[in-house]
Amino acid sequence: MGGMADTLTRPGKGGQPPRQPGRSPAPARPTRPTKPTRSGPPAARRRPKRPPQPRPVVIVGIAVALWTTVLGLACLVSLTLAAWVTATRHGNAVRPALATAVQAWLLANHAGLAISGGSVGIVPLGLTVGLGALLVRGGRQAARLSSGRDLFDCLAAAFAVALPYGLIAALLTKPAGWGQVRPQPLQALAGAFTLALICAFVGALRETGQRAVVLARVPHTVRRVVRAGLAATAVIVGVGAASVGAGLVLHAGRAATVMSNLDGGVSASLLMAAVSVAYLPNVAIWGSAFSVGPGFAVGAKTTVTFSAVHLGALPAVPLLAALPANGAPPTFARLAVIAPIAAGLLAGWLLARARVHTPNADGPWWERQRLMDAAWGLAAGAVAGLLMGILAWLSGGPVGPGRMAQVGPSAWHVGIAVTFEVGVLAAATTWLLGWRGERPVTVVEETADAEPV
């Protein structure tokens, strides 16, 4: 008995317990290979990440304004220095090239340049759009770094960016002065502050998600009218840009001659190409003013309208090669009359499709006669006229003394013409399409109309 007990309790081979009689051996559990551990103290436990602390909005606004200014100026300085280095003939002083870059930056911020006997105030809208994109991004950064949440925080971030940006523009008028060119500090302050305030506020709204909140507070009828006016404006500007492009294609030889006659070699051609791109939106708006009727001027006592074209001596700018010759405008230019017609029809269709007004047979007489439909069409025309008037004002301005002190379209004439043409067509289209709105509006349609754009 003792020997049997010793046999039962004695471990088998490899340290395993002996097999029990009448029992099958249990399968061994697979063991995971252990990773080699590094010698040293045990790693400390990771602490949860804390949310970033909000930074003062004033400090953030100053930093964003400086960053936006430096980035915009760096692009212009690089371009002007490249043109100065590769020019056929240039002086040893580099300050004129730097002053030119700062002057272009100030012009893009709607700061006038005073010269002998006149001023230069035409804004390169292409460059302004680029600076506006930088300011929108700066507004988003300011709202994010300052932990903006509500509408008041968005306004605070916008003002924190706009105020130092305007002060920087006013201070840069001193080094930008060279020769007979003297930038205007007050105009630089007002223009840069306004541009930065609008763009930074838009960026802050996008970053904080307050854009939907602001749109929800606006009545849906007003949103539909504004959307129709924006669509009409886009159609008019698009047709104007197409007419300018067609003119450049037809007069490509004239534009190439202007480029080849520039004194300065390849660098001058590249710089002129950059200037042409910066002022391309201006010329597109001039084409829009031509399509709606009032036209535009390229110097005193010059007109480019549907009835006739009267031009004098023009500056050596390739974009002006798209202008028609003196006399009656060509046939393709007259086709631009479709711009206000298409804009009015589109605005009226959008208003009727959005169900701005549902006729009510038991309502007042103005509802029975669907006069509100026509009123909303006139309102959309007024929105388009206001926008086109602002664009016409921004696209024009003086380019020097003498006859070139009057360049571009008249903002009042363009705004009134667009309001009348687009408004009447939009009102008629909305009123005619309103006959289809006699069927009752379902709950689903009302819910769809109440959704924000």
- List, in sequence order, every residue forming a beta bridge with 183; answer none if it has no partner: 113
DSSP code for 22: T
Gap between the Cα atoms of 136 and 154, Å rounded: 12
| Residue 60: both structure tokens together | 């953030």
How does 224-260 read in b/e, with b if 16+ C-beta sit within 10 Å? bbbbbbbbbbebbbbbbbbbbebbbeebeebbeebbe
The secondary structure of 310-375 as a DSSP string is E-----S-GGGGGSPPSBSPPHHHHGGGHHHHHHHHHHHHHHHHTTS----TTS-HHHHTTHHHHH
Relative orientation angle of helices 280-292 and 265-278, to the nearest 10 degrees: 50
* Residue whose tokens read 């009545």: 219
User: Residue 45: how many CB atoms within 10 A of its CB?
Assistant: 5
**What letter does residue 313 receive in the DSSP assignment?**
-
What helix, strand, coil percent values describe the chain, rounded to 5? Answer: 65, 5, 30
Query: What torsion, rounded to 10 degrees, do the Cα atoms 17, 19, 25, 28 define?
Result: 10
Q: 3-class SS at 354? A: coil
Phi, psi of 178 (to 5 degrees): -155, 130
Give the DSSP per-residue string, 47-88: PPPPPPPPPPHHHHHHHHHHHHHHHHHHHHHHHHHHHHHT-S
Nearest to 244 by CA among 326, 327, 336: 336
Q: Could you tell me the two tokens for 411?
A: 């903002």
Give the integer Cα–Cα distance in Å for 46 and 189: 50
Per-residue pLDDT of 397-407, as tens digits, reads 888 887 788 89
Q: What is the pLDDT confidence band of residue 142, given thresholds at 50, 70 and 90?
A: very high
Residues recorded for the chain: 453
Closest to 237 in 3D by CA, of 204, 282, 207? 282
Nearest CA-CA partner of 307 in 323, 326, 322? 326
Q: For 311-345, how does the pLDDT look when each residue is reduced to its tens digit (9 = 90+)?
A: 877 777 888 888 888 888 877 777 888 999 999 99
Number of helical (H) and strand (E) elements in the chain, helices listed first:
17, 7
Q: What is the pTM of this model?
A: 0.80
Read off the pLDDT of residues 245-266 as tens digits, 9 standing for 90 and up: 888 888 888 888 877 777 666 7
Specify the DSSP element, H or E, that contains 118. strand 118-120
**Domain residue spans of the chain:** 54-217, 219-453
Q: How many CB atoms lie within 10 A of CB 184?
A: 18
Residue 227: band (very low, low, confident or very high) from pLDDT cuts 50, 70, 90: very high
Q: Which tens digits make up the pLDDT trace of 153-184? A: 999 999 999 999 999 999 999 989 888 889 99
Measured torsion, CA atoms of residues 290, 291, 293, 295, in degrees rounded to the nearest 10: -10
Residues 334-386: tens digit of each pLDDT? 788 899 999 999 999 999 887 644 555 555 545 555 677 788 899 999 999 99
